[in-house]
Structures are given as C-alpha cells and as structure tokens.
Homo-oligomer: A and B are copies of this chain.
Amino acid sequence: VIAVMQTTDGGEFRELCAARGITVTHQRQVLFELLLSVPGHPSPEEVYLRVKQQIPSISLATVYKNIHLFLRSGIFREVSLHHGSLRLELNQRPHHHLVCTVCKSIRDIDEAELKLAAIPGQLPGGFLAERFSIDILGRCAACQQKT
C-alpha cells in the first residue's frame, strides 16, 4: 500500500490528515510537500535546513515533532529503525532480524528459515556487495496484544 500519492496539489495533504484526525497547519503542509520532493534519505537536520528556506521562522523542534507525527501515522517511514544508539551484532550464525516497529525489539531468525534468492553479482553504480541483511518489520507478539 502506498500511503502517499505522487500528485502535489495541496488538497491531498488535507485528505491524508482528515483520514487520520491530524490538524492541518501551514508548517505541516510545507514540510509534507518538501519531503515529497527531497531525494535520498535526509536527516531531521537536513530537512530543517530546507524547510527553513520556505518558513524562516520554523524551529527544529517543530520539524522533529512533525516528522515523528508523520512516522507514527504512517505517512512516511524511517530507512531502518532508529534505536537511538548503536547496537552490536554478536550472533555469529547467519541470520536475519524480526524488528518490532512498536517496541523496536530485535529478534534473530536463522537464515535457513528464510528461503532466499542470491544477490545479483552485478549491482548498479559499481557497488561491491559483501553480505546482506534482511529486516522483517512488523509487530512482536507482546505488542500485538497491547492493541
């Protein structure tokens, strides 16, 4: 399911918000339109610097609050879940991860339990692959019950 449409006519954002019970503000509207147009995987700080060009008075706190609002309501996603700090991988067996999007817990699953295709030898941009890592995102049993 694609949460965000490609068009950018402004009315669309109001609909997204209406459907989720989110108040529409000027800051949110501009932030939303900007995020649709930004390439790559920007950090909140990078986003802030860009929005600032359209709303010079906007604060970094507002950008953070609204980014989190968008993430919570499923309008945008994180690249990979941000655990707030570095996490070490100590499991030496080939495995992948079941990551809970609610509590951010990580559970390992043996590679053998997933039937995988091989990585193509040839990757775009001359990228040299060394290994790969699959995150299966969803809800752990405990967080399903809390709903």
Instruction: List residues of A whose CB falls within 8 A of some B CB.
Output: 2-4, 6, 35-36, 38-45, 47, 67, 76-90, 92, 97-98, 100-101, 106-107, 109, 113-117, 119-120, 123-141, 144
Contact = CB atoms under 8 A, between A and B. Distances in A.
A39 B93 CA distance: 13
Contact of A88 (B78, B85, B119): B78
Contact of A128 (B45, B132, B139): B139
A102 B143 CA distance: 35
Contact of A137 (B45, B67, B133): B133
Contacts of A120: 113-115
Contacts of A79: 83, 87-89, 97, 106
A123 B90 CA distance: 22
Given A41-B90, A109-B124, 17 more contacts: A35-B88, A36-B90, A41-B89, A42-B87, A44-B86, A76-B88, A82-B86, A82-B87, A114-B117, A126-B144, A127-B138, A128-B141, A129-B138, A130-B137, A132-B134, A133-B135, A135-B135
